[in-house]
Amino acid sequence: MIEKGLLIVLSGPSGVGKGTVRKEIFSQPDTAFEYSISMTTRLPRDGEVDGVDYFFKSREEFETLIEQGKLLEYAEFVGNYYGTPVDYVRETLDAGKDVFLEIEVQGAQQVREKFPEGLLIFLAPPSLSELESRITNRGTESSELIRRRMQAAKEEIELMDLYDYVVENDHVTAATSRINAIVIAEHCRRERVSVRYKKMLEAE
Amino acid sequence: MIEKGLLIVLSGPSGVGKGTVRKEIFSQPDTAFEYSISMTTRLPRDGEVDGVDYFFKSREEFETLIEQGKLLEYAEFVGNYYGTPVDYVRETLDAGKDVFLEIEVQGAQQVREKFPEGLLIFLAPPSLSELESRITNRGTESSELIRRRMQAAKEEIELMDLYDYVVENDHVTAATSRINAIVIAEHCRRERVSVRYKKMLEAE
């Protein structure tokens, strides 16, 4: 009786530092996550290995997989497709391993629709809480600057509404340890644990 | 603008080690929790200080507080009342501090009714997962012993249903770090964080 893994999706506004946090998480020697390998139509760069860095596919193959619903999420950037193969994710979760995805906000929206039980974590820029403390402490900035920043903050906060958790990226190690805490906590959720125990009793 | 603290309630079957885990949590030099001081009608023991170890009250005072709804939860043990004064809890939460309560399962039920936003953590005996692995691995124990253990396990699992999280007390430091992770994660919940940011924008 294997307990299914969690799908952990890290996303957030571009430039917030998702890639840096993801690298930090996978540099931990005791990381318990499986990294989901993306699929792409761009050509391999020197040293990149198919099935390790990416699954490399032709445009035709990729579009066939889209039609067959074989991508958990995908997007097109500068003429190339990038996406997450759903079979790999499902197989890894079924094997009881947590899968970690780092994707753009549009992708996170697709995951929410196709895989509602996914754990969506929004990586928030520290500028938000900086703005908060500046407003609270009445700084000396020009009102035009504050106004522009507030507009940007509003857009970021609206993006959050889709997510389960918000982690501020004030520092990469702090953000990483919050993400680890979230995953530990999710494994302790009563619905998860009691279902496991109840199955054990039924199995007898 | 102060963010309200969390009410963290640790409970579980008697004998599971709630007190030991609570002591471990409060022995951490960087613990961020306020311990909720209980109220009791029993007499102070040598060295116990009113307002530090307990709030000591007469039976009459205690019963008046019950009638006035001033107790978040209470119970009677061997002729004495023990309870949690609700005003102290609310004031501490309003000051933005997390309050930690360690109580019996009947008390946890009262907290769920009176304070639904409380975070209820069930401390589970390791015997449950031991039982699970024994059943799974088909041990050599007598079926009568397994049957009795399964009956006890059923009762414990039914108690869980009230709780938000289940933490196995396999080892006191492991249980403590899971509880700390749960509290960190709860502070990152999107509802909490985005409400804070939205209030900041509205306040402008």
pLDDT in tens, chain A (204 residues): 578 899 999 999 888 889 899 999 999 888 888 988 899 999 999 999 998 889 999 999 999 999 999 999 999 988 999 999 999 999 999 999 999 999 988 899 999 999 999 999 999 988 777 776 766 665 566 777 777 777 877 888 888 999 999 999 999 999 999 999 999 999 999 999 888 888 777 766
Residues 6 or more apart in contact with residue B26 via CB below 8 angstroms: B33, B35, B100
Cβ within 8 Å, pair A166-B194: yes
Question: How close is the nearest chain A Cα to the Cα of B201, in Å?
Answer: 7
Instruction: Read off the pLDDT of residues B24-68 as tens digits, 9 standing for 90 and up.
Output: 999 988 888 898 889 999 999 999 999 888 999 999 999 999 999
Q: Select the residue of B150, B165, B197 nearest A204 (Cβ to Cβ).
A: B150
Give the closest of B135, B185, B200 to A200, CB-based: B135
What does the angle CA A60 – CA A63 – CA A66 come to, to the nearest 5 degrees? 155
* Residue partners of B92: CB distance under 8 A and separation at least 6: B5, B34, B36, B99
How many A-B residue pairs are in contact by the CB < 8 A criterion?
A: 114
Residues of B in contact with A12 (CB under 8 A): none
Q: Is A19 annotated as a binding residue?
A: yes
Contacts of A132 in chain B (CB under 8 A): 196-197, 200
> Alpha-carbon distance A2 to A53, whole Å?
28
Topology of domain A7-203 in CATH is: Rossmann fold (3.40.50)
Q: pLDDT tens, B82-93?
A: 999 999 999 999
The answer to whether the CB atoms of A135 and B190 lie below 8 A apart is: no
**Residue A200: what pLDDT?**
74
Q: Is a pLDDT exceeding 70 seen at residue B172?
A: yes
Of B153 and A104, the structure prediction assigns the larger pLDDT to: A104
Consult the annotation and say whether B19 binds a ligand: yes
Q: Is the pLDDT of residue B118 over 90?
A: yes
| Residue B43 host element (H or E) | none
**Where exactly are the structural domains of chain B?**
7-203
Q: Are A185 and B201 within 8 A, CB to CB?
A: no
Give me the pLDDT at residue B204, please. 61
Please give the pLDDT value at position A134: 67
Please say whether the beta carbons of A13 and A105 come within 8 A: yes
A178, A181, A194: residue with CB nearest B157: A194
Which value does ipTM take for this structure?
0.87
Q: Residue A126 in contact with residue A170, Cβ under 8 Å?
A: yes
- Across the interface, of B154, B184, B194, the residue whose CB is closest to A160 is B194
Looking at residue B29, its pLDDT comes to: 84
CA nearest A133 in B: which residue? B200
pLDDT at B139: 59
Q: Side chain identity at B97, as an amino acid letter?
A: K
Residue A72: the pLDDT is: 96
- Computed over every residue of chain B, the mean pLDDT equals 89
Distance from CA of B115 to the nearest CA of A (A): 18
What pLDDT does A136 receive?
64
**A98: distance to nearest CA of chain B, Å?**
17
pLDDT at B141 over 70: no
